Structure formats: C-alpha cells, structure tokens
Amino acid sequence: MPKADDLALPRPTRREFCVRTCQAVSLLTLGAVAPACGGSSTSPSSAPALPSVTGTLVGRTLTINVDSSSPLAAVGGAATVTASTGTYLVARTSQTAVTTVTAVCTHEGCEVGGFANSVYVCPCHGSEFSTSGAVVQGPATSSLRQFPTTFASNVVTISV
C-alpha cells in the first residue's frame, strides 16, 4: 500500500509560487477594473450617433456647405465629416462660429461618434469631450486635436 507522501503533488518552488500568485492577483484585478471602464455610467449607449455631412477636400482644405436641412444649420448642432485625411467632428457653437476636432479618441484610438448635451462621447470606454476637444470626463487624459475652422456665407472651411 502506498504512503500518503507518495501520492502528494509535487510542491512548487518559491519562484513558481510567486509567479502563480502574481498571475492570479493580476487576473482578479483586471476582472475588477474592466467592468468599471467599459460599463461605466458614462457608457455612450445613451448618446445618439452624430449625423454625417458631406464635405469637399481640395488640397488640405475641407469645405462643407450648410443649408437649412443640415445638422450644422442651428447653433448647438454637430455632425461628422469624412475625407481621405480622416474623420472629423464639426460643431456649430454660435451664429458665426464652428469648431472642428479629430474623431480619433486620445484614450485608445477609437472613433468618437456619439453626441449628447453638447459633448462628444467615445463608444469604447465612455470618454467625453467638449466641442473644442477638451476632456470633460476620462479615461482619456488628452484633448482631441483641433483644426482651424471658419464659417462664412453658410460654408464651413476646415484646414486639415
């Protein structure tokens, strides 16, 4: 009959024990953090997607014609515009001013496309940005890149 010591599992070395313990703690930590990041109260599921508008790119100048049916016709309106140089978020901030920022989130590079309460919302982790690109709420810590924009005679002109 075998002895109890003969049936025991081999004991890990101290190094193996430490590595396995660190791995287990890391997995537990990731499990605790992941839901807070992706499922936070800033989750963009309630932020409506921005409408898109058409722009014309000539060189490094992107122009958008704004008519009465455009989402940019009224102050507070916003839209996305896509060109070969990228996707941009455009917001009408006053009767005479429009701002343009990149649609690439500075947190992990996702495309920002939600808009609620004059705030752009990233669909990946819920980062929020003002219409000038400033971080309103993280996890992003850097502003969205802003582009020089003018608005005159119902034409938005963006230097990309």
Question: 76 with 94, same domain?
Answer: yes
Question: 25 with 59, same domain?
Answer: no
pLDDT in tens, 118-146: 999 998 888 999 999 999 998 999 999 99
Task: Give the model's pLDDT for residue 14.
Answer: 73
Cβ-contact 131, 99 below 8 angstroms: yes
Question: 23 with 87, same domain?
Answer: no
Question: 101 with 141, same domain?
Answer: yes
Give the 3-state secondary structure of residue 81: strand
Mean pLDDT of 98-116: 93
In whole angstroms, give the CA distance from residue 160 to residue 142. Answer: 19
Q: Report the 10 Å Cβ neighbour count for 79.
A: 22
Question: 15 with 79, same domain?
Answer: no
Task: Give the model's pLDDT for residue 31.
Answer: 45
pLDDT in tens, 39-80: 344 444 468 899 999 999 999 999 999 999 999 999 999 999
Name the nearest CA neighbour of 88 among 74, 72, 101.
Answer: 101
Question: 58 with 29, same domain?
Answer: no
Question: 79 with 8, same domain?
Answer: no
The domain total for the chain is 2
pLDDT in tens, 2-43: 665 555 656 767 776 656 665 655 554 444 443 333 434 444
CATH number, domain of 98, equals 2.102.10.10
Domain holding 122, by residue range, is 44-159
Question: 86 with 17, same domain?
Answer: no
